[in-house]
Every structure is written in C-alpha cells, then in structure tokens.
Amino acid sequence: MTRSLSAENQNANEQRALIYRDFIWIIAKDRSDGSPVPMGVWSDVFDILAEVIDPATGGAASRSFTGAGAVISISDIPLVQGIAVQEVELQLSALESSVNDFLRTYDCKQADIQIFRGWFDPATQSMVAPAACRFSGFINEAPVTTPAEGAGNSVVKVACTSNTQELTRSNSDTASDASQRLRSGTDNFLQDVAVVGDWLAPWGASDGSPTGMGTKAS
C-alpha cells in the first residue's frame, strides 16, 4: 500500500522532535450473527481516543485504543513495490483482559486488521497529526492458549496477510444461468448455455424441431 507523511509529521521529524506509538485496529465477527465487532489496542500504558487515517476512505477517524501493555511486539513491515503479499506477525498480551476476552469471544478468522503509527510531540504528549496506516489486511490465525501456572507471560501470536492476497485467489464460479441471474434476476443471457451445444443452425433448409434460437440435432 502507498504510504505518505503529513506535513506536520514531516516538519517535526526533520527537527528530531518526535516519539512514535503503534496502533492496532481489529474488526472481528460476532459468532451468533456475523455482525462486525471492533477492538483497538496501542503500544502505551493508558487508554486513548486517537485519530487515524482510515485506509478505506483516506479521511481521519476517531477510535478508542486500549493500552496497559496489550501490544508486545510488531514484526517489521517492509516497504514494497507492486502487489507483493506482505506477512506481519503481532504479539499481543493475553494477560490483558480486553485482548483475551475479545480473541476468545469473537471470530477473528479472516478479520480485518489495520496497523497505524502515530507521532507524538514529547513536549505536549499529543499527536502532531492523525496516525498513518502502515498495514491493512486480514488475520490468518490468532490461537489463544492458556499457559501452565508460573510459565511466564501469556502471548498471542497473530499472523496477518495484506489485502493483496485477495488478488491471488481464483474464482470458482462458472458461466451459468443461475450465476448470471444472481447479478440481475431478469438477465437471461445464459438461459440456454446448457443446451446450446446440441443446436444446429441449418443454412437454407429446416432440419429437426426448432428449440430456442436454432434447431436441435436429430
């Protein structure tokens, strides 16, 4: 995906006067009805309402993010050209109740995930501009395990793939009347596709009983 730096971020960055924090936004599904359920976490200790650049609209959106050590690490997100599929791994703390409850309660398979980076002015402790999106994709897996007592920190490894993986999928749909009518109920362009191979189109003579636009082979 294309990344750009706002003028505010650029100016502060040139002055070496910024610190950054990462924001993670996940949209899972309710297991009962499939409705979207969002969760936000970020790499600091307190909860925050922050503005981010929504990759779907390109505009700023205010979202709530939970802190308290919920984000342990984010793997490198390289800048790539073209439509290369990117893979990113997150490590979230399962000891954070909001993370643990969310991942166990809702269906996170193929959930939308977005990773943002926001730059803060250390003098004011506020973001100089809405956080920019660094990654947008889907969750491949996020297994939640319960460690043995005394085994240390409980970590959830979230494996993610960028949106460009959708370009690698093949379409299993085939040309058929049923498929065409899903697009439009009155579209009968393919109504005879299953039998048209049996038709003959006689030149200057009638041969056999006519069916559809031609005549059926005898």
Q: How far is CA 169 from CA 35, 84, 88, 180, in A?
A: 24, 14, 19, 21
Contact 185, 159 (CB under 8 A): no
Contact 95, 151 (CB under 8 A): no
- Per DSSP, 2 falls in state -
User: If you average pLDDT over residues 33-50, what whole number do you get?
Assistant: 93
pLDDT at 152: 62
pTM of the model: 0.71
Split at pLDDT 50, 70, 90, the class of 96 is confident
pLDDT at 212: 52
B/e letters for 48-69, b = 16+ CB within 10 Å, e = fewer, are bebbbbbbeeeeeeebebbbbb
pLDDT at 86: 87
pLDDT tens-digit series, residues 43-61 = 998 899 999 999 999 999 9
pLDDT tens-digit series, residues 63-84 = 999 987 888 899 998 777 777 7
Split at pLDDT 50, 70, 90, the class of 134 is very high
CA dist., res. 154 & res. 175, Å (int):
50
pLDDT tens-digit series, residues 150-201 = 666 678 899 999 887 777 777 777 778 888 888 888 888 888 888 888 887 7
Q: How far is CA 187 from CA 42, 176, 180, 183, in A?
A: 49, 11, 7, 8
User: If you average pLDDT over residues 91-105, what whole number do you get?
Assistant: 88
